[in-house]
Structure 1
Amino acid sequence: MALYGVIGDPIAHSMSPLMHTSAFQESGVEATYVKFHVKKEDLPQAIHGIKALGIQGVNVTVPHKEQVIGLLDEIDPLAEAIGAVNTIVNENGKLIGYNTDGLGYVEGLKNIADDQLETKAMLVIGAGGAARAIYYSLASLGVKRIDVTNRTAERAEKMIASCPFALNSAFLALEEAETNLHHYDVIIQTTSIGMFPHIEDSPLTIKQLKPGSIVSDIIYNPLETSILKQAEEKGARTQNGLDMFVYQGALSFEKWTGTFPSYSIMKNTVLQQLGG
């Protein structure tokens, strides 16, 4: 039986084992998926253990997504550009790192976007690891206008400057972003602001939101954050982070097995766990 898993610290809260187990069962793949609690100082030994134990695939979560890059045999170009790996494939003893976070987000966004993403003007809120994965993945697929707003300019400007894909992008202070919100078709909230238990918090006010725009928040606990509630009241189409989480897992599954799993079964498994 094939062995897969997820490494992180902490890891007890992870819903990946339930989600992937449901996908393996539905696909008829004989496999086990488990949590591995790996401290930062033990990461090199853990990666060596993937080879030694013949583990066929591993998801990587915080805080290891960046540090793991230097321990692998090969890095996919997009993951290298993002500077983070969330999926490892063991290909006959060669460990290859991928990043499915950003592309998982894009797949979810396609579910509610009514036309070509490339034509949309987008604003990313935040400049952390998730923002970088989403920003670079959208840029790699040809989106030409993605601006970034963040509490501090330095990190956002560095993310923009280091992007290897051609696009039109500028940094906006939060107040400037609030004033110019009507210029954007898609607002992408990538910070932890509004996550349980601080569910009343919002990264910015959306008074200037354009009618018919999309507001997407990568948080899925709660399933409807404060900014999504406000956006819905203004007539925007909204999306929580559940699609991103499920699609990134489904893309990892595809990297490991060569088969794209049942998205609906994976999503329903997570929803049941969340009590929704």
Structure 2
Amino acid sequence: MAQTVVETDARLSPKDFHIFGSGISFSVSPTIHNAGFRHLNLPYTYDIRESASIDDVAGLIASERFGGASVTMPHKLQVHKFCTEQTDTARLIGAINTLVVKQSGKQRIIHGDNTDWSGLYNIITNYAEGMGANQSPKVGLVIGAGGAARAALYSMYRSGLEQIYVVNRKLANAEKIKGDFVGTCSINVIASVQDLPCLPDIIIGTIPADVTTEEQFSSIFKTEGLCIDMAYKPRQTPLLTAAQRNKGWNTVTGLEVLLAQAYDQFRLWTDREPPVEEMKEAVALHEIQKEKKAGSTVL
């Protein structure tokens, strides 16, 4: 069976995949995707391309070797300018985190998609299935109002949550999202977490961990629920720590979210199922090596 895979993939043309963003030198996305490419014997490579402007990577996107890209901040809201087409979901969310190259005859198509929402959706639905029909989550809270928050809100809607709240320091940004989602789902904007009329079953944080404290989240947890933080630097955020003070709460780190959306990206790029265990193992080894390096630096 392994020999068949090698023979089939040997006929593929080499392709370059990247992650586009600013301040992303710490990204583990190359570790995730290169592990998958190696395991399936695909002649693909994935690397980090830092850029202050999405225009700086125009040449990479135009290259014949370009196979696709992950797109992170601050480019998720601007990369559409390079897309031939977008999914309806990416257009509704207003943010693209995945570029896929497609071929239609002689026409080369740059396809814009969003896997942030689908990764979150898979996490939420897996949690809900374990709860049982009579205990399914009904109330969701999203903290923040950027591109990641839009994906989080959409994932809650698609997961069937009945009430969805968004809180953000700048109310105008939250109100903008609410307006953009009119006709799709109803979103309730609140000025602070203290204004929640009922406690949430699902909480998704989408803001940098270094601007938050445990105390500001201490009052938002009921008996049980699911707390997800999309920030993954540091891995343990104040929001997750506040959730873990409550025994009935499951927590999901930003690294786990990154993996969940990366699996969907891998499917879009390769038309293959991602080797999940191998990708997880590569990340675990990466984390161990990073800790050892940090320890030796301290000494």
Distance 1:37 1:227, change over 3 A: closer
**Which residues of 2 match residues 1-276 of structure 1 at below 5 A?**
1-40=14-53, 43-44=54-55, 46-92=57-103, 93-113=108-128, 114-115=130-131, 119-163=137-181, 166-177=184-195, 180=197, 183-192=199-208, 194-195=209-210, 201-202=213-214, 204-235=216-247, 236-275=249-288
TM-score of the superposed pair, with normalisation by structure 2: 0.80
Secondary structure of 2:90's match? helix
> Any gaps of 5 or more consecutive residues in structure 1?
none
Q: Is the 8 A contact 1:243 1:267 kept in 2?
A: no
Q: How many Å apart are 1:66 and its aligned residue? A: 1.3
Please tell me the root mean square deviation across aligned C-alpha atoms, in Å.
2.5
Tell me the distance in 1 between the aligned counterparts of 2:236 and 2:23: 24
Q: Is the 8 A contact 2:227 2:243 kept in 1?
A: yes
TM-score of the superposed pair, with normalisation by structure 1: 0.86
Q: Is the 8 A contact 2:178 2:186 kept in 1?
A: no
Distance 1:176 1:49, change over 3 A: same
Tell me the distance in 2 between the aligned counterparts of 1:129 and 1:107: 19
Higher deviation after alignment, 57-66 or 69-78:
57-66
> Any gaps of 5 or more consecutive residues in structure 2?
1-13, 292-299
Tell me the distance in 1 between the aligned counterparts of 2:75 and 2:185: 29
Higher deviation after alignment, 27-36 or 134-143:
134-143
Determine which structure has more spread, i.e. the larger CA radius of gyration. Answer: 2
* CA displacement, residues 169-204 of structure 1 (integer Å, 9 cap, x when unaligned): 211121534x64x53211211111x34xx7x82472
Q: How many Å apart are 1:97 and its aligned residue? A: 0.6
Q: Is the 8 A contact 2:121 2:159 kept in 1?
A: no
Tell me the distance in 2 between the aligned counterparts of 1:173 and 1:263: 40
Secondary structure of 1:65's match? coil
Higher deviation after alignment, 147-156 or 225-234:
225-234
Secondary structure of 1:22's match? helix
Secondary structure of 2:57's match? helix
Secondary structure of 1:139's match? helix
Identity value in percent = 29
Equivalent residue pairs, number = 268
Secondary structure of 1:156's match? helix
Q: Is the 8 A contact 1:103 1:134 kept in 2?
A: no
The code of the aligned residue for 1:233 comes to R
Tell me the distance in 2 between the aligned counterparts of 1:106 and 1:137: 5
